[in-house]
Structure 1
Amino acid sequence: AAHVPVLVSDLPEMKRVVEEYGIGIVAQSRKPIELANQIADFFEDKEGYENTLKNVKKAAEKLCWQNEEPRLLNLINSLKKG
């Protein structure tokens, strides 16, 4: 929602969202120097960074509460009925 690229750990669901929408980077290491280098590389790739900013805006429109609320309510209602 803040239109800011994200840095996430390599957890499956977080990685899937970042890669599917192209909204940031997935940490390849937990070592500070390697992580700092990965972040620096991200910012040095001007074209990739600009694409990420565009993708973040698109993802923010799709991945928002207004779109997720009906899905959650449908799930809750189906559990009540079942």
Structure 2
Amino acid sequence: MSRIRTLEELVRNHHRLISSAMQALYDDVLSHERYNREEDPNDDEYLYYAAVVSNDVYDLKMHIDATLSVWDGSK
């Protein structure tokens, strides 16, 4: 049983790290998008691309959180 707990703790620690990194990436993409929107509000192609990247990063973060929470004992 101690090995299982150790494995859960290992996954839990990495889950936190990965989740924090994904949140930081998501926040940075949004910040970059806001900055570029102010600099060139008519660049619709960029704004569309930034929105797609932002949504993909968010979806990936949610998928990672859902998957790892099963293995880290939090679900």
TM over 0.5: no
**Greater helix fraction, Structure 1 or Structure 2:** 2
Pick 1 or 2: higher relative contact order, CA cutoff 8 A, min separation 6.
2
Larger radius of gyration: 2
Q: TM-score, normalised by structure 2?
A: 0.39
**Greater strand fraction, Structure 1 or Structure 2:** 1
Q: TM-score, normalised by structure 1?
A: 0.37
